[in-house]
Amino acid sequence: NPVRMQAITSVEAYTPPPFTFDPGEEPGEVFGENVFSLTVMQKRLPKSVYKSVVSTIEKSTPLDPAVADAVASAMKDWALEKGATHYAHVFYPLTGLTAEKHDSFLDPVGDGTALASFSGKTLVQGEPDASSFPNGGLRNTFEARGYTGWDVMSPAYVLENPNGNTLCIPTIFISMTGEALDHKTPVLRSQQAMSAQAKRILTLFGHDDPENVVAYCGPEQEYFLVDSHFFLARPDLLNAGRTLFGAKPPKGQEFDDHYFGAIPERVLGFMMDTERELFKLGIPAKTRHNEVAPGQFEVAPMFERANEASDHQQLLMTTFKAVAKKHGMECLFHEKPFAGVNGSGKHVNFSIGNSELGSLLVPGDSPHENAQFLVFCAAVIRAVHLYGGLLRASVASASNDHRLGANEAPPAIISIFLGEQLADVFDQIAKGGATGSKEKGTLMIGVDTLPTLSKDPGDRNRTSPFAFTGNRFEFRAPGSNQTVAAPMVVLNTIMAEALDYCASSIESAVAEGTGFDEAVQALLSTIVADHGTVIFNGNGYSEEWPIEAEQRGLKNLRTTVDALPELISSEAIELFSKYGVFNEREMHSRYEIGCEQYVLSVGVEANLTLEIGTTTILPAALRYQTELAQNVVALEAAGVTADTSSLTAVTEQITALRAGLADLASAVGHEHDEDLHVTARFCRDSVLPAMAAVRAAADELEGLVADDLWSLPTYQEMLYIL
């Protein structure tokens, strides 16, 4: 086929761009070069101003207006030296993408000249004309404005562009009434809620006036690379981010030979280039290796505070897309770009702690520290058991539905893997072996009968959606295309609730005269008894697990449509309002937007399926059918008995394809219900199956129709030619 041959020839003839490195450059030399970091601020700001910024960051309080002016002025000078002509408030609307409002530094003055201006007010507050972003009913048109304001904890940076550099300021995005329209605002709110409760626990364990506790997030990002020539010849990849057609390649990932295999030279060049760009922006990218599927790779930046990590994660994705284009490739972040091949996730490594105490999820050296560690772990167990549905909802999207529970991704059932050692400790606590068993006057968790907890993560269970890995938990359900902010908000908030519960329980027991160790002991036993069913160390991919999980009363919210209502359950609304993270209106708006995004995304795919099926696949099949029919006629005329089996097979699939297209067309034409959830359910139950039927016939045809008539690049080509 001319289209495909052209693409293949072009890929083979492609020469990657030359390296941009200065040969004398040390690796990492450029790190943070384009970041208005604390170090830069320390150099450029008066001491008192600098101190005030630092304390703002530590206490997570708003920036003092007088300080803001001084910071803005230093930031502007720095950015102008870096070649910036514009500044932008960067915010994170609920589409999951990144949005920017650009303004020029230059203000025209009366006499025809321009003056570089950028005040404290412009730094801490912007007013983007952003009425087109989804708000789920939070803004009426008369108050359509949203406001942006700098998150001082996330540093400003300069983004380079051949057309002029831009100073970027990471901001929150809220309505005039102060309601959150974005992903960042609730991260900051939930962060504070969690910190307040964690500090209560630390105080109980004898830490005097502990520092603020923050959530750390280390996201592992998986992605696919596809050559642009193939990408452009696939309207489905181009418009939906995933292939809506495509037969399984003869060579799949059965041999797993891609995993940790050699990285192709072209990809290596891309990785080095992205790493350098990320370094300049102060993003600590660390590992790179091949993933399980052909064409799939991973990058894992070092963990950072949640709000910074989620900004960096968004920036990483835009950087990867841009650099890939420069290298003649397309970077795919879709959770399931290729059916039957591994999907892409974004594991969220989660811990809480502070600079003073490190991670609070690391077993300590002394029994006292281990008791504290066990309380934090028990809080995680309670949180995940009570609110697993919310965790599931935080990663719900039409695209992630294709991944969860399929080909090496955890199921939609949220359970916890603790590892043998820790599971054993909690087991003993549950059996009461620990309760009241005083030895040398101390309780088991108080002293030496508690086994020394090794810091080695031990055996890893890759089938669990939520696994303890030695000093953190790894939440494996988030999808590659999602913001890590949403799961971090849920994790922070449910941890706030669980730590609140733990602190109150110890406090009241102690107030009633129970000894501290006994109070802790009793709390741990209660939590294991009430919430231990969420612990599962077995194989999460097995067929028995969903059945057992149901017996244990764990939710199995398979699809986005099942998961989203969790956001507006009365328990969820009570939880989020209690800790000041979302009010009821904000929860409803998020639920509505979730439904809307789902409907929109399935709608786009359905229309594409119709279009490609009708204008590309059906014509190829009809041409081949005609060829076969002519062949039969010619043979018969020549007196040779014709074998009509190919003609019959093609005809059968053409009939199926036509029927599928007709069904899909009628499903797409179905009127939308006013209730978005009803429409979402219709999409799941009628539109997606109709698309699947079209695809099944089309994929069969791909194996029947003459190769030269098939114009869509095949899986084989897209996955194996780079």
What residues make contact with ligand ADP under the rule CB under 6 A?
A: 216, 218, 220, 287, 300-303, 349-351, 359, 471-472, 474
Where residue 25 falls (left for φ over 0; alpha for ψ -120 to 50; beta otherwise) is beta
Torsion sign over Cα 409, 414, 417, 418: positive
Residue 212 near which of Mg ion, ligand ADP, none (CB within 5-8 Å, type-dependent): none
Q: How far is the CB of 357 from ligand ADP (least distance, A)?
A: 12
Nearer to ligand ADP, 471 or 711 (CB): 471
Residue 218 near which of Mg ion, ligand ADP, none (CB within 5-8 Å, type-dependent): ligand ADP
Minimal CA–CA distance to 215: which of 182, 178, 256, 187?
A: 187
Residue 417 near which of ligand ADP, Mg ion, none (CB within 5-8 Å, type-dependent): none
**Across the strands, what pairs with 468?**
473
Nearer to ligand ADP, 488 or 664 (CB): 488
Residue 678 C-beta-side C-alpha neighbours within 13 Å: 6
Helices 516-531 and 420-430: angle between axes, nearest 10 degrees: 100
Nearer to ligand ADP, 135 or 351 (CB): 351
| CB 108 within 8 Å of CB 189 | no
Q: How far is the CB of 222 from ligand ADP (least distance, A)?
A: 10
Cβ–Cβ contacts within 10 Å for residue 60, how many? 17
Please identify which residue in the block is written with the tokens 């005030």: 52
Strand 84-91, strand 165-175: pairing: parallel
Cβ–Cβ contacts within 10 Å for residue 46, how many? 11
Residue 359 near which of Mg ion, ligand ADP, none (CB within 5-8 Å, type-dependent): ligand ADP
Q: How far is the CB of 373 from ligand ADP (least distance, A)?
A: 13
Q: How far is the CB of 4 from ligand ADP (least distance, A)?
A: 36
Nearer to ligand ADP, 363 or 446 (CB): 363
Q: What is the DSSP string of 115-129?
A: EE---HHHHH-B---
Q: What is the DSSP string of 167-183?
A: EEEEEEEEETTS-B-BS
Residue 349 near which of ligand ADP, Mg ion, none (CB within 5-8 Å, type-dependent): ligand ADP
Residue 41 near which of ligand ADP, Mg ion, none (CB within 5-8 Å, type-dependent): none
**Residue 112 burial by CB count (10 A; 0-12/13-18/19+): exposed, middle or buried?**
exposed
C-alpha angle 212/216/217, rounded to 5°? 160
Q: How far is the CB of 248 from ligand ADP (least distance, A)?
A: 27
Residues that bind Mg ion (CB under 5 A): 220
- Position closest to ligand ADP via CB: 218
**Across the strands, what pairs with 331?**
225
Minimal CA–CA distance to 223: which of 236, 242, 251?
A: 242
Residue 345 near which of Mg ion, ligand ADP, none (CB within 5-8 Å, type-dependent): none
Give start and end residues of each alpha helix (H) in 583-714.
584-612, 618-637, 645-669, 676-682, 688-702
Residue 702 near which of ligand ADP, Mg ion, none (CB within 5-8 Å, type-dependent): none
Residue 449 near which of ligand ADP, Mg ion, none (CB within 5-8 Å, type-dependent): none
Please identify which residue in the block is written with the tokens 């791909």: 702
Residue 644 near which of Mg ion, ligand ADP, none (CB within 5-8 Å, type-dependent): none
Q: How far is the CB of 471 from ligand ADP (least distance, A)?
A: 5
Instruction: Please state, in angstroms and rounded to a whole number, the distance separating the CA atoms of residues 533 and 471.
Output: 22
Nearer to ligand ADP, 485 or 654 (CB): 485
Structure tokens at 18: 């030359």
Q: How far is the CB of 340 from ligand ADP (least distance, A)?
A: 24
Instruction: Please state, in angstroms and rounded to a whole number, the distance separating the CA atoms of residues 133 and 142.
Output: 15
Q: How far is the CB of 347 from Mg ion (least distance, A)?
A: 6
Residue 216 near which of ligand ADP, Mg ion, none (CB within 5-8 Å, type-dependent): ligand ADP
| CB 195 within 8 Å of CB 215 | no
- Position closest to Mg ion via CB: 220
| CB 455 within 8 Å of CB 370 | no
Q: How far is the CB of 278 from ligand ADP (least distance, A)?
A: 13
What is the Cα gyration radius of the chain? 28
Q: How far is the CB of 307 from ligand ADP (least distance, A)?
A: 14
Q: How far is the CB of 402 from ligand ADP (least distance, A)?
A: 22
Nearer to Mg ion, 86 or 346 (CB): 346
Residue 560 near which of ligand ADP, Mg ion, none (CB within 5-8 Å, type-dependent): none
Structure tokens at 216: 């750390």
Nearer to ligand ADP, 216 or 545 (CB): 216
Nearer to ligand ADP, 56 or 481 (CB): 481
Nearer to Mg ion, 105 or 297 (CB): 297
Largest CA-CA distance found in the chain, in angstroms, rounded:
105
Give start and end residues of each alpha helix (H) in 213-305.
228-232, 235-240, 265-280
Nearer to ligand ADP, 306 or 693 (CB): 306
Residue 471 near which of ligand ADP, Mg ion, none (CB within 5-8 Å, type-dependent): ligand ADP
Nearer to ligand ADP, 135 or 461 (CB): 461
Q: Is 248 helix (H, G, I), strand (E, B) or coil?
A: coil
C-alpha pair distances (Å), 614 with each of 266, 412, 624:
36, 34, 15
Where residue 644 falls (left for φ over 0; alpha for ψ -120 to 50; beta otherwise) is alpha
Instruction: Please state, in angstroms and rounded to a whole number, the distance separating the CA atoms of residues 125 and 499.
Output: 34
Q: How far is the CB of 559 from ligand ADP (least distance, A)?
A: 27
Residue 302 near which of ligand ADP, Mg ion, none (CB within 5-8 Å, type-dependent): ligand ADP
Q: How far is the CB of 190 from ligand ADP (least distance, A)?
A: 16
Q: How far is the CB of 223 from ligand ADP (least distance, A)?
A: 14
| CB 599 within 8 Å of CB 679 | yes
Q: How far is the CB of 312 from ligand ADP (least distance, A)?
A: 11
Give start and end residues of each alpha helix (H) in 327-432.
367-394, 398-401, 420-430
Nearer to ligand ADP, 402 or 472 (CB): 472
Q: How far is the CB of 315 from ligand ADP (least distance, A)?
A: 15
Residue 303 near which of ligand ADP, Mg ion, none (CB within 5-8 Å, type-dependent): ligand ADP
Instruction: Please state, in angstroms and rounded to a whole number, the distance separating the CA atoms of residues 305 and 558.
Output: 31
Nearer to Mg ion, 55 or 287 (CB): 287
Element at 157 (helix H, strand E): strand 157-159
Nearer to Mg ion, 347 or 402 (CB): 347
Taking 3-state DSSP, the helix, strand and coil percentages for the chain, each rounded to the nearest 5, stand at 50, 15, 35
Nearer to ligand ADP, 359 or 651 (CB): 359
Residue 382 near which of ligand ADP, Mg ion, none (CB within 5-8 Å, type-dependent): none
Nearer to ligand ADP, 469 or 583 (CB): 469
- The size of the chain, in residues, is 722
Instruction: Please state, in angstroms and rounded to a whole number, the distance separating the CA atoms of residues 579 and 601.
Output: 32
